[in-house]
Amino acid sequence: MPTPEEKALARIRHAAESGATELDLSGLGLTALPPEISSLTSLRKLDLSGNRLTALPPEIGGLTSLQSLDLSGNQITALPPEIGGLASLQTLNLADNELIALPPELWRLPNLVSLNISFNHLPEIPPELWQKKDWKELGLGRFHLTTLPPEIGGLTSLQSLDLSLNQLTALPPEIGRLTSLQSLNLSENQLTALPPEIGRLTSLQSLDLSHNQITALPPEIGRLTRLERLSLHGNPLTLALPRRLLGDESFGGDAREIFAFYRAIWQEGRPLNEARVLFIGPPGAGKTSLVHRLKDNSYIENRPTTLTVETHAIPLGARTAHLWDFGGKDFMHATHPLFFSARCVYVLVLNVRHTYEQNRVEYWLRTIRAFGGDAPIIVVGNHADAQGHLLDLPQNRLRRDFPNILAFVQTSAAENTGIDELRAALGQAVESLPHVRVCFAAPHLRVKEALEQEKTRRNIIPYERYAELCAAQGIDDPDDQATLLELLHDLGVVLDFRDEHGEPLSREGILNPNWVTGAIYRLITDHEVRGAAAGRLTPEMARRILPD
């Protein structure tokens, strides 16, 4: 069986004999390119992708007619200076190699207008790239870019730009100068918003914004009348967008239909501005006292222990935090996961006068991770004082093991210290929740308000009634209704418990959280259940304990 090099040599000789202008040597497993390649002086297109090349021979510089060279998917660590001999080269694909530098000869190629240097080991984008103004296509994926330099605005001939898999948090206003741009890929970055200058890209036909942190589209984007495909998958704003508009994961949705829906948001929508904050921790840590300090700055010495779950609303700037104060008794811990979810802030309150083991810190942190995912956590050491009672935790290790810990705060509800620091940390944590900033159309907000009213009349709201409330606001698609209900569950507006298959546990309907928490408390504190029945609850007991 011929070796990869022998196969390549045979194709090179055949191309030389036939005067071919194109040669495909891709996927052969080549580790070296035969020097005979220099004989193909009439070659215009050469595909060497998907091999195992680590270098190119100097003879590559003899291909003076070459216009397109694909070297992607190899293991090339450096380009030879002879690359500068490819005076006719227009397109060069170097993606997915091991390059750590590019030779100066590359930037002197007079006709090079298309360059892909994505997925290499280049420490930064070479500054020479920005100095060349006639680029038409650029691939700059996975460069660990956190910002784009304003020089990007000078590439006014650019038609295609790939900035995927970077760490961009914002786009510079100069992006609006790329008026020839037809395709822009910004997928898998850290963008939270788009600048209004995005509306100047009037030639844009395809825009990929998937897997970012974008919570809203600016009205200016509606000016992109030539935009056909818009990919928004994996962004927080999809909470407010009908699923049918998102389209296929690979191609995105119809931009015109998305803009038509978004006009209602631009006209009368608003951010949700609400979040649920769960105060949890061992008994006697002072959760309730801290909640009341935050609510109205009140304090009662020897306040009775919270036995169930109490809820309070407090303002945090433009946002509203709904504080859920969980009872700390050990027998209540099993009920906590019923109310934990990913779109919450968790405040773990510990007693600084107890040991690390007494506070069971990692038990609480693991429980949060199991049911709340990577939701933000604030660890509070309460009962701190000037006598040396301070929070004593391995903070560096805990941050490493639980990277969603946003802050460690020391407080004393009794002495009214550390409360301002706690409030500030809460504000930052709530602001970090993407859904808080998502702009919802008025119909979504009206469904939420209708459910709030419905809870005043009944404790179990039939699914059919929920569907009616949605349909009355024009939300007819069952998938859209389900997405909204999931959010309302996470916010604690209603409870809709589901099994691992996504089926509702309560066949009768969605539940009023206040009724559920009260009912659970009555069940697990009943003398018969906790005594003779040893926790085994029968339907007959439930009917006795909850006659209504």
pLDDT along the chain (548 residues), means of 10: 90 93 96 94 97 96 96 97 96 98 96 98 94 97 94 97 97 97 98 96 98 95 97 93 89 94 89 93 89 93 69 93 81 73 92 84 93 94 76 92 96 93 97 92 92 93 96 91 88 87 87 84 84 88 87
Instruction: For the chain, give every domain's residue range.
Output: 4-228, 274-436, 440-545
Q: What angle do CA 485, 490, 494 make, to 5 degrees?
A: 60
Residue type, 309: V
Q: Which residues, listed in sequence order, are joined to residue 309 by a DSSP beta bridge?
A: 326
The β-bridge partners of 460 are: 511
Cα–Cα distance measured from residue 94 to residue 108, given in angstroms and rounded to the nearest whole number: 17
| 208 vs 219: CA distance, rounded Å | 17
Among the listed residues 289, 274, 276, 328, the one whose alpha carbon sits nearest the alpha carbon of residue 306: 328
3-state secondary structure 56-90: CCHHHHHCCCCCEEECCCCCCCCCCHHHHHCCCCC
> DSSP character for 473?
T
Token readout for 1 is 């069986």
**Superfamily name and number for 4-228:** Ribonuclease Inhibitor (3.80.10.10)
Which structure tokens are listed for 463? Answer: 């699914």
Supply the CATH classification number for the domain 274-436. 3.40.50.300
Distance CA 238, CA 246 (A): 8
Separation between Cα atoms, residue 422 and residue 380, nearest integer Å: 8
d(CA 466, CA 383): 45
- Quote the pLDDT of residue 330: 67
Question: How far is 402 from 396, CA to CA, in rounded Å?
Answer: 10
Residue 270: other Cβ atoms inside 10 A: 11
Q: How many helices (H) and strands (E) does the chain have?
A: 16, 21
CB < 8 Å & 24+ apart, contacts of 159-165: 159/183, 159/203, 160/136, 160/184, 161/137, 161/185, 162/116, 162/118, 162/138, 163/189, 164/118, 164/188, 164/189, 164/208, 165/118, 165/141, 165/189
| CA–CA dist 132, 238 (Å, integer) | 38
Distance CA 518, CA 107 (A): 72
- How many Cβ atoms are within 10 Å of 136's Cβ, its own excluded? 17
Helix, strand, coil % (nearest 5) of the chain? 35, 15, 45
Tell me if residue 429 falls in helix, strand or coil. helix
- Would you state the CATH architecture of domain 440-545? Orthogonal Bundle (1.10)
Question: What is the DSSP code (8-state) at residue 303?
Answer: P
